[in-house]
A and B are shown apart, each in its own frame.
Chain A
Amino acid sequence: MVVALARRRRRGRLAVVGTAAVLGAVVLLSIGTGPVGVPPGTVARILAAHLLPGEHEATWTAAQDQIVWSFRLPRVLMAVLVGASLAVVGALLQAIVRNPLADPYVLGASSGAALGAVGALALGASVPGLLVSGSAFGGAAVAGVIVYVLASRGGRIESLRLVLAGVALSYLFSAATGWITATADHGRLPGLLFFLLGSISSATWEMLTLPAIALVLGLAYALRRASHLDAAMTGDETAASLGVDMTRLRVEVLVVTAAMTGAVVAVAGGIGFVGMVVPHVCRLLVGASHRVLLPFATVAGALLVVLVDTVARTAASPREIPLGVVTALVGAPFFLWLLRTRPVGAER
């Protein structure tokens, strides 16, 4: 029996490492894909020249170097950070509300963050900046608190109420964002629209720092709390009887996910469905034990968004389809399938 458990854990680790290897390959391919194609071998050599010390013989053009290092790599890394962060946020939220439909979008955090960011922009803040990120975090945190208060009754969170409150709040925040957008100066419009649709097309190196820090800290927190998250999924009373303080866990998770969502939305706008779909599929593949689920979802979320972003910038070339549009095209049918196969609110 114990051997079987060890085998399953090894299989989980293998799934993480294997998917990470695929992610690496897809990143190389994605960097090479675009209006100007660069072969993966050349991409790898250009990256090596920048990352590894020592002399490197340049077998590529300066234009190729610039395309790979200054434009595509930050963008692909942004896709990695966005996908990984949203997947971790989704996994955390789904555990504490015991509902597979929970994600930063459904629970209002994304639209709260977008409202915060758009509000800051309309008042004259520039992208990327701490002010926009801070406002996005503030918006996500406020949304989290409101949804939590609306959904709790006598100290207990009702999962269906939580989702409904989140959806309603999302509409409210989106309406406010729309209002600001409609009355904003024309000069500010493109930047504002970006938050509504979700895009990483203007990713630069500087924009990567905050989401990267948020992801590392958030993931570290989540892994530390892995067994408590497992317990939380089994029910409030059970978790409490195991010594887990559920109220504290929920508050911690809401703060951590608000920070991660804020960091992502501030640079990439609102990107839906990733946070819901990825943890759910990962749970079906490797089980719900968070020690395996969290690393796997991190890698899988990154993989999905890199792939989706590659499609977004090549499918209608030379036009770009906003990333959020493509994730919704993939995610909405999945969401509907989930609705059909799982009774809403049946969290037992």
Chain B
Amino acid sequence: MSGVRVERLSVRLGQTQALADVDLEVRPGEVLGLLGPNGCGKSTLLRTMYGTQRPTTGSVHLDGLDVARSPRREVARRCAVLTQDHATDVELSVMDVVLLGRIPHPASQRSAAGDLRLAADALARTDALHLADRAFPTLSGGERQRVLLARALCQDPRVLLLDEPTNHLDVTHQLDLMRTVGSLGVTCVVALHDLSLAAAHCHRVALLDAGRLVAVGTPEEVLTPERVEATYRVACDLLTHPRTGRPLVALSPRVPSSPIAQEAP
């Protein structure tokens, strides 16, 4: 099992500094939550990890592999991604979608029967085996995410990257998905919007704001009311979940009126 090492990473997209001097270590086996407001650089950071975005300066090493200097297939053998752009109307069966995960692996190490077995195993791990014969467009949002997670697992990755996987899911399916992600035993980096969800399911969280890494650590360490307020410009209190003991971020409807807080850095 292996992690991700991000060193002095900066990315410029046109006129915007999407990421500025980010240093981050994702430890083997941990689930790391990536937090921050819209446009803070979460997706860009993930994209540099799987190689569709080149760093302007700095580097990303994934499982010891320098991502920007490696062929895409090499990266794809080590890391699987749940992107936000997956088409929903592709007339493929669920099994066909999961089998896409075998694409990066060399033909010499594959067989039709072996691929099918891996795909079935992956579907079983995300509790979606009963969907195998369905057409992908007929799935509900929750089913779709579980199938896409199975496709990612079918890729046999050392690192799993998830870009807002709980979007468009109801609370049941959000919890369900995060529990599944936590049970996989694979190094995971998850971009999330829901702070309490992240606090409940991630070993550590990293908070980004305007392309800079503000803090990284356990949810209790990172999600202090001061930091959340400064980053999201929303007042909040940090509570403790009465049953799980995990941190709970209670956002206040009051918008802070301080001009300093409103001015973006």
Which A residues are closer than 8 A to B by beta carbons?
1-2, 4-5, 8, 98, 227-228, 230-231, 233-238, 240-245, 283-284, 287-289, 347-348
A234 touches B120 (CB 8 A): no
Which B residues are closer than 8 A to A by beta carbons?
47, 50-52, 71-77, 79-81, 83-93, 95-97, 99-104, 116-117, 120, 123, 129-130, 132-133, 135, 155, 161
A4 touches B133 (CB 8 A): yes
Alpha-carbon gap, A227 to B117, bound state (A): 18
Alpha-carbon gap, A115 to B39, bound state (A): 47
Alpha-carbon gap, A336 to B264, bound state (A): 50
A241 touches B80 (CB 8 A): yes
B133 touches A242 (CB 8 A): no
Q: Classify the interface of chain A: helix, strand, loop or mixed.
A: helix
Alpha-carbon gap, A127 to B84, bound state (A): 51
Inside 8 A of B71's CB, which chain A residues have their CB?
A: 243
A242 touches B86 (CB 8 A): no
Inside 8 A of B52's CB, which chain A residues have their CB?
A: 237, 240-241
* Residue from the list A228, A235, A243, A244 in contact with B77, Cβ < 8 A: A243
Inside 8 A of B84's CB, which chain A residues have their CB?
A: 237
Residue contacts A-B, CB under 8 angstroms, 29 given:
A2-B117, A4-B95, A5-B132, A8-B133, A227-B99, A227-B100, A228-B103, A230-B96, A230-B100, A233-B92, A234-B90, A237-B83, A237-B84, A238-B85, A240-B51, A240-B52, A241-B50, A241-B52, A242-B76, A243-B73, A243-B75, A283-B91, A284-B91, A287-B91, A288-B90, A288-B91, A289-B92, A348-B88, A348-B89
Closest to A342 in B: B89
Closest to A7 in B: B133
Closest to B124 in A: A1
* Residue from the list B96, B129, B155 in contact with A242, Cβ < 8 A: B155
Other 8 A-B pairs with CB < 8 A, given A241-B52, A288-B92: A2-B116, A2-B120, A227-B103, A231-B103, A235-B83, A242-B103, A243-B73, A289-B93
Inside 8 A of A244's CB, which chain B residues have their CB?
A: 72, 103
B133 touches A243 (CB 8 A): no
Alpha-carbon gap, A49 to B50, bound state (A): 61
Alpha-carbon gap, A92 to B11, bound state (A): 34
Inside 8 A of A288's CB, which chain B residues have their CB?
A: 90-92
* Residue from the list A5, A8, A235, A287 in contact with B87, Cβ < 8 A: A235
Contact status of A234 and B133, CB under 8 A, knowing A1-B123, A288-B91, A347-B87: no
> In whole Å, how far is A346's beta carbon from the nearest beta carbon of chain B?
8
Alpha-carbon gap, A245 to B123, bound state (A): 26
A287 touches B92 (CB 8 A): yes
Alpha-carbon gap, A234 to B50, bound state (A): 17
Contact status of A245 and B72, CB under 8 A, knowing A1-B132, A284-B91, A287-B92: yes
B155 touches A1 (CB 8 A): no
Closest to A292 in B: B96
Alpha-carbon gap, A98 to B86, bound state (A): 12
Inside 8 A of A237's CB, which chain B residues have their CB?
A: 47, 52, 81, 83-85
B83 touches A238 (CB 8 A): yes
Inside 8 A of B79's CB, which chain A residues have their CB?
A: 241
Closest to A291 in B: B96
Inside 8 A of A236's CB, which chain B residues have their CB?
A: 85
B86 touches A243 (CB 8 A): no
* Residue from the list A5, A98, A243 in contact with B72, Cβ < 8 A: A243
Closest to B84 in A: A237
Inside 8 A of A230's CB, which chain B residues have their CB?
A: 92, 96, 100
> In whole Å, how far is A296's beta carbon from the nearest beta carbon of chain B?
13
Alpha-carbon gap, A227 to B107, bound state (A): 12
Contact status of A242 and B101, CB under 8 A, knowing A4-B132, A236-B85: yes
Alpha-carbon gap, A348 to B84, bound state (A): 11
> In whole Å, how far is B86's beta carbon from the nearest beta carbon of chain A?
5
Closest to B43 in A: A237
B95 touches A242 (CB 8 A): no
Inside 8 A of A243's CB, which chain B residues have their CB?
A: 71-77, 103-104
> In whole Å, how far is A281's beta carbon from the nearest beta carbon of chain B?
12
B104 touches A242 (CB 8 A): yes
Inside 8 A of B76's CB, which chain A residues have their CB?
A: 241-243
Closest to B99 in A: A227
Inside 8 A of A228's CB, which chain B residues have their CB?
A: 103
B87 touches A233 (CB 8 A): yes
Closest to A241 in B: B81
Inside 8 A of A227's CB, which chain B residues have their CB?
A: 99-100, 102-103
Alpha-carbon gap, A287 to B93, bound state (A): 8
Alpha-carbon gap, A4 to B89, bound state (A): 21
Alpha-carbon gap, A242 to B75, bound state (A): 9
Closest to B76 in A: A243
Most-contacted residue by chain A among B75, B91, B129, B161 (CB, 10 A):
B91
Inside 8 A of B88's CB, which chain A residues have their CB?
A: 348
Closest to A285 in B: B91
Inside 8 A of B155's CB, which chain A residues have their CB?
A: 242
B93 touches A8 (CB 8 A): yes
B81 touches A234 (CB 8 A): no
Inside 8 A of A234's CB, which chain B residues have their CB?
A: 86-87, 90, 97, 100
Give the top 6 A-B pairs by smallest Cβ distance, nearest first: A243-B76, A1-B132, A243-B104, A243-B73, A241-B81, A288-B91
